[in-house]
Amino acid sequence: MKLLKLVPENTNLDFMRYRNVALVISLIVTVLAIGFTAVQGLNFGVDFVGGQMIRTTFARPIDVEQLRGRVEGLHLGEANIQEFGGPTTYQIRLPRPGGGANAANLAAERVKSMLAADYPGSRIDSVDTVSGKVSEELAQNGAIAIALAMLGIAIYIWFRFEWQFGVGALLTLGHDVAMTLGFFSFTRLPVDLNVVAAILTIIGYSLNDTVVIYDRIRENLRKYRKMAILPLLNLSLNETLARTVVTSLTVLIALGILMAIGPEVVFGLAIAIFLGVFIGTYSSIYISAPVLVWLGINPSSFVKNEEPDPTAKAEPQRV
């Protein structure tokens, strides 16, 4: 049986030819993502703002404004109703009522009774209740977790590679996180603890992809000392292309299936990681590598004081 090869042997794609175009596009989209997030904000779930979140699936498409009117007729406070994952699935967010857990349970029961009476065949998928103090602690801990992850990565890259590689890795991670948050701000999908977990996963995935490419670039900097930097970057990217494509494609397939037929409670997690893997694959090629050019790295940057490498004439190897 002949093995399937997604990437042919000895590819020689000129990635760096389009680096300036990719930079302009990335810069514009990143600025738009940051600006949109700053102006529009994020649609924080009950994990971070407190309150009640009821997810329900109806037997058939409904009139959203009619549903909104019926929920507000219960006088439980201002309701936020959004479609979630499909035309018959909605999430109803309500402020947490005063009076403790008993009052919260009573409010949820009133909504559930209304749905059962006015929408026969509807199903309650989940009811989540979070207090304001707990949500504040969750938001603070989530932000600290992301900040510490970025700091830890910066320290690791600093010691593992030279400072230019550390700057490139941090810019790549910042690009990926900004794009992901901009997507959630634009789509108004709820940002909860699952999304925080997804962002931490994206940071790890993007870093792994970037480190593999950086390792190959540094090896080739030592091996091909007379090669110009742009051909050397193209060579390194082509040598790692098979690994990049296979890894990203398998992860995207798994996440695509999870989004299509997986439980709705993990939809936000799956779509965030799916988007992050797609963006991370792009940025590992068109952000992390071109940054080294702009920072002035060349084959003599790190090896000018070293003895000649006996493997200098070795043939390129693929991963």
**How many other CB atoms are there within 10 angstroms of residue 305's CB atom?**
6
**From CA 301, how far away is CA 303, in angstroms rounded?**
6
**How many other CB atoms are there within 10 angstroms of residue 64's CB atom?**
12
Q: What ranges make up the beta strands (E) of the chain?
A: 51-57, 80-83, 89-94, 123-130
CATH says 18-42+135-295 is which class? mainly alpha
Question: What would the two tokens of residue 10 be?
Answer: 């000895």
**How many other CB atoms are there within 10 angstroms of residue 315's CB atom?**
6
Contact 180, 275 (CB under 8 A): yes
Q: What is the pLDDT of residue 29?
A: 92
Q: What is the mean pLDDT of residues 220-244?
A: 87
Q: How far is CA 239 from CA 131, 279, 298, in A?
A: 52, 20, 18
pLDDT, tens digit, 9 for 90 and up, residues 251-263: 889 888 888 887 7
Q: Where are the domains of the chain?
A: 18-42+135-295, 51-130
Q: What angle in degrees, to the nearest 10, is found between the helix axes of 193-223 and 241-261? A: 170
Tokens 């997804």 sit at which residue? 198
Residues 6+ apart with CB under 8 A from 283: 26, 172, 175, 176, 206, 210
Residues 6+ apart with CB under 8 A from 306: 222
Torsions phi, psi for 94 (to 5 deg): -125, 150
Residues 6+ apart with CB under 8 A from 23: 286, 290
Please tell me the CATH code under which domain 51-130 is placed. 3.30.70.3400
**From CA 200, how far away is CA 180, in angstroms rounded?**
11
pLDDT beyond 80 at 318 = no
H or E stretch at 145: helix 132-160
Handedness of CA 309, 313, 316, 319 (dihedral sign): negative
Check residues 3 and 117 and name the one with the higher pLDDT: 117
**From CA 136, how far away is CA 87, in angstroms rounded?**
32
Tokens 């010691």 sit at which residue? 159
Q: What is the pLDDT of residue 315?
A: 47
pLDDT, tens digit, 9 for 90 and up, residues 115-146: 888 888 888 888 877 666 666 677 777 778 87
Percentage of the chain exceeding pLDDT 90: 5
pLDDT beyond 90 at 28 = yes
Q: What is the pLDDT of residue 243?
A: 84
Torsions phi, psi for 271 (to 5 deg): -70, -35
pLDDT beyond 60 at 317 = no
